[in-house]
Amino acid sequence: MSSASPMFEVGAVVLGYFGTVASWRRPAPDQARRWEPQVIVQSCASTDEGAHAPAQSVAISSRAGLLALRAAIDEALKESAQ
């Protein structure tokens, strides 16, 4: 594999709240069997009126985990779609 051949396709979206981002990666087409897709949701540290909230993140690093997350999101949004 040359350095010109990427291992992953990547992207990110802001989740509507300042400092909260979801980033994703998926294997490049020629790497599909070697790597699992991944989503990382992260928020930056903040201090509001003297209360400190540390930076946080959660990573879901498997196809099965991402499908379970999709099912949970579908359930959470079920009523808002009606």
State how far the Cα of 5 lies from the Cα of 1, in Å rounded to an integer.
6
Q: Is the whole model's pTM more than 0.85, yes or no?
A: no
- Give residue-wise pLDDT tens across range 27-79: 888 876 778 999 999 999 988 888 898 999 999 999 999 999 999 999 999 87
Return the number of other C-beta atoms located less than 10 Å from residue 44's C-beta. 13
Q: Which residue has the tokens 């400092």?
A: 19
Q: Where in the chain are the domains?
A: 8-81
Q: Helices in the chain by DSSP H: which ranges?
A: 63-76
Q: What angle do CA 41, 68, 31 make, to 5 degrees?
A: 75
Based on its alpha-carbon atoms, the radius of gyration of the chain, rounded to whole angstroms, reads 16
